[in-house]
Structure 1
Amino acid sequence: MPPKFKFSKKEIVDSAFKLVRFKGWDMLSARSLANELGSSSKPIYSYFKSMEELEETIAKKGVDLLYEYMIRERTDDPWHNHGIGYVMFAQKEKRLFRALNDEKHIKYYGKYGEIIWETLTASLPDYPPFQGLSGEQVYQIQLQRWLLCHGLAFKVSNPLPDGVWDDEMVSTVIQQGSTAILKGLKIEFFSNRL
């Protein structure tokens, strides 16, 4: 009969996530996690084949938290809410945002981020500003707007000492930038049809 461990897989993931969220990937090891749990590392390896498997689970949990930020209602425009939420995640979860985007873990961020992209895009089938646009055109608008959001997200997750971005400022920049991208690309799309 296999040994029974006093920690569940969820407890291990939650403890590991907390370490990464507040201290970064460098603080996560089987030993540091075992210390956090007050245990040996044996329970960790009973649930995960490797630390890399655990890291992917943590990255998915981080992207799930990002999704929660992106679907939170902040304005009456769901598309703007997606962008504002993305940047606010980076602003409020600085260390986690940077951890998810580091060289080693960005592959997981991309993998699970793609699911968010598809889910949020599918949530806007009747979004009035996208009416009359092809799927490719909507994709181009979404891509340009993501570049704006991602750039601003890096800015707010690595602020200069005198560079303070509050929620209102983030909201204003994303709404103005999103509107400019949408209007500008629509003009380009429709002028190319002539």
Structure 2
Amino acid sequence: MPPVEKISRQMVLEATFAITRVKGFAQVNARTLAAQLGCSTQPIYSRFGNMDDLKRAFILYLEVSFSDYVKQRIGDDNPLIQTSLAYISFAKEEPHLFSLLFLTSYKGKRGLGKNLKIIERLGVVGSMSRKTGIDPDVATGLYRNMMLYAHGIAVMVATKQMDITEDELHFQLESAYSAFLHQVDHLQK
């Protein structure tokens, strides 16, 4: 009978999450994980062949966590504004996690462009297209414009360059949405 696994892959990923959340991803290494888990480095390397394998697995884990975060915040109102609000809220509440997903590149596979696909998979564009009657291709352009706008605010919030109230944020996003929608209407005519 094989020995009972005391430190699971999930536990290592959760410890990576906890360290990254507080100190940033640069602080994640076998020693800090071992200290967080109360074990030696051996179980970490047993679950993940090396730190690069762990980091790749953690990025995927974090993408799922972010998707869940956004899903919980999208209701029946304008899904594009709600998604933008969730994106900015994530940046404010979790600046280290936001930075890892949207401001850094891990082996050239991260950054805003690729990770916007996480949100696209949530069906925001299709929902918006149905609600507004906009052609799906045009809705995709509207989505990208809004997310680029939201990304600018999110970066300023995550890096503490901007402090914005919830009311101001709603106003800014509603104004941007209206302007982008007006632009789309103008282009469709």
Report the TM-score range of the alignment, normalised by the length of the smaller protein. 0.7 to 0.9
Asked if structure 2 preserves the Cα contact closer than 8 Å seen for 1:31 and 1:41, the reply is: yes
Unmatched tracts of structure 1, length 5 or more: none
What is residue 42 of structure 1 aligned with on the other side? Answer: 42
Q: How many aligned residue pairs are there? A: 186
Change in CA separation of 1:124 and 1:136 when aligned onto 2, cut-off 3 Å: same
Structure-to-structure mapping, 1:94-113, within 5 angstroms: 94-100=95-101, 101-104=103-106, 107-108=109-110, 113=116
SS in structure 2 at match of 1:88 = helix
C-alpha offsets along residues 103-122 of structure 1, whole Å, 9 cap, x if unaligned? 33672456554243132336
RMSD of equivalent CA atoms: 2.4
Once the two structures are overlaid, the 10-residue window that deviates more, 77-86 or 108-117, is 108-117
Q: AA paired with 1:177?
A: A
What is residue 179 of structure 1 aligned with on the other side? Answer: 178
Deviation above 6 Å: which 4+ runs of structure 1? none
Asked if structure 2 preserves the Cα contact closer than 8 Å seen for 1:70 and 1:86, the reply is: yes
CA distance in 1, matches of 2:47, 2:93: 30
Asked if structure 1 preserves the Cα contact closer than 8 Å seen for 2:125 and 2:140, the reply is: no
Asked if structure 1 preserves the Cα contact closer than 8 Å seen for 2:15 and 2:36, the reply is: yes
Percent pairwise identity: 25
What is residue 69 of structure 1 aligned with on the other side? Answer: 69
What is residue 84 of structure 1 aligned with on the other side? Answer: 85
CA shift, 1:83, in A, is: 1.1
Q: Under a length normalisation based on structure 1, what TM-score does the superposition of the two structures give?
A: 0.83
What is residue 157 of structure 1 aligned with on the other side? Answer: 158
